[in-house]
């Protein structure tokens, strides 16, 4: 009995073994906008570099919105430059006449849309002619908005007010253009960090909903070990400590830095369950592997304890 007690008291912390496994936390890559997957430039298991282009969704409708925003901005800047130059007061009646002409064309265009829609619904007309009629109607509406804006500028009380109003409009259009460009950029997915493509979820030609992951990226800093320490030994571990561990088939020991200690106890999970540790309460500890490229998620490990120089 005395000998047994002496042996237990002389047991070194480094001789205690803790079972665990390698854990990988994936980064799920997605776009905030939906679209058809047109480019898939990577595959499962591929090593990728930071800022490497991985996927692209189709550019519609953002590319059309950019063209329209640029056209509106160019027109607004032209009007601003025109206001800067000395000239006579805008001819309000002439602008009203232009609006009247557009209104007449709009009325005709609306009739054409209704007629082609009726023919299409009756299966007596093709979709292309209906689309052309709708596009012409939308074009006339946009043109009328421009003429109306010109009329409002012409009716302002003074040139300073006109100039200030036009500057404000230019700023709004610039912001609109920048926002649309940003939206288009979000349809190209780049690797935020270097790592391995753990999995992909779509093929080219498939529709991807907004915020739906296209791929999972596993980066070295997100590879760690997770192990379980009995309640009576958890006080021997602190965040930031370097621990030593090994794995099945490893030819040497490796090190990891403790990054998380669970604030509450739990029962031993089934993955590391054994007859010896049944019914034991343990604390979950996570540690960042200092050589993460040598391990894969799910790999069993054995922690020997605190590393000593």
pLDDT at 55: 96
> Which sequence spans correspond to the domains of the chain?
12-25+221-306, 27-59+187-218, 62-180
**Residue count (the chain):** 309
Judge contact between 256 and 227, C-beta under 8 A: no
pLDDT at 212: 95
pLDDT at 195: 92
Query: What is the overall mean pLDDT for the chain?
Result: 83
pLDDT at 136: 87
Lowest model confidence (mean pLDDT) among 6-10, 46-50, 136-140, 152-156: 6-10
CA dihedral 195, 35, 65, 148 (to 10 degrees): -140
| Class (C level, CATH) for 27-59+187-218 | mainly beta
Q: Which fold has domain 12-25+221-306?
A: Elongation Factor Tu (Ef-tu); domain 3 (2.40.30)
227 versus 163: the higher-pLDDT residue is: 227
pLDDT at 10: 43
233: buried, middle or exposed (CB in 10 Å: 19+, 13-18, 0-12)?
A: middle
Give me the helix-helix angle, 127-154 and 62-84, nearest 10°.
30
- Say yes or no to pLDDT of 158 above 60: no
- Say yes or no to pLDDT of 152 above 80: no
Is the overall model pTM greater than 0.85, yes or no? no
pLDDT at 308: 57
- Say yes or no to pLDDT of 142 above 50: yes
Mean pLDDT of 89-104: 81
Instruction: Spell out a b/e string for 178-215, using b for 16 or more CB atoms within 10 Å of the CB, else e.
Output: eebeebbeebebebeeebbbbebbbeeeeebeeeebbb
- Say yes or no to pLDDT of 219 above 70: yes
pLDDT at 7: 36
Mean pLDDT of 36-47: 93
pLDDT at 248: 83
pLDDT at 90: 58
Expressed in angstroms, the distance from the first to the final Cα of the chain is 35
């Amino acid at each position: 009995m005395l000998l047994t007690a002496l042996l237990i008291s002389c047991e070194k912390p480094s001789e205690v073994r803790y079972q665990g496994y390698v854990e990988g936390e994936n980064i799920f890559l997605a776009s905030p906008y939906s679209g058809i997957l047109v480019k898939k430039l990577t595959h499962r298991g591929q090593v990728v570099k930071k800022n490497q282009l991985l996927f692209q969704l189709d550019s519609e409708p953002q590319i059309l919105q950019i063209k329209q925003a640029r056209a509106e901005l160019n027109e607004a800047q032209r009007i601003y430059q025109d206001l800067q130059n000395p000239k006579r007061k805008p001819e309000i009646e002439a602008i009203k006449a232009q609006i009247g002409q557009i209104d007449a064309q709009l009325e005709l265009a609306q009739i054409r849309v209704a007629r082609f829609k009726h023919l299409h619904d009756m299966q007596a007309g093709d979709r292309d002619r209906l689309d052309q009629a709708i596009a012409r109607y939308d074009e006339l509406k946009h043109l009328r908005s421009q003429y109306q804006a010109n009329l409002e500028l012409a009716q302002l009380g003074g040139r300073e007010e006109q100039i200030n109003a036009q500057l404000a409009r230019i700023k709004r259009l610039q912001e609109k253009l920048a926002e649309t460009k940003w939206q288009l950029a979000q349809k190209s997915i780049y690797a935020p960090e270097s790592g391995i493509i753990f999995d992909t979820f779509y093929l080219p030609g498939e529709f991807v909903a907004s915020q739906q992951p296209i791929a999972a990226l596993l980066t070295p800093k997100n590879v760690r070990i997770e192990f379980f320490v009995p309640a009576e030994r958890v006080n021997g571990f602190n965040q930031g400590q370097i621990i030593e561990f090994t794995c099945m088939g490893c030819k040497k020991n490796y090190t990891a830095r403790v990054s998380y200690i669970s604030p509450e106890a739990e029962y031993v999970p089934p993955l590391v369950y054994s007859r010896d540790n049944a019914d034991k309460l343990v604390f979950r500890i996570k540690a960042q592997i200092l050589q993460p490229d040598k391990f894969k998620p799910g790999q069993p490990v054995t922690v020997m304890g605190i590393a000593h120089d």
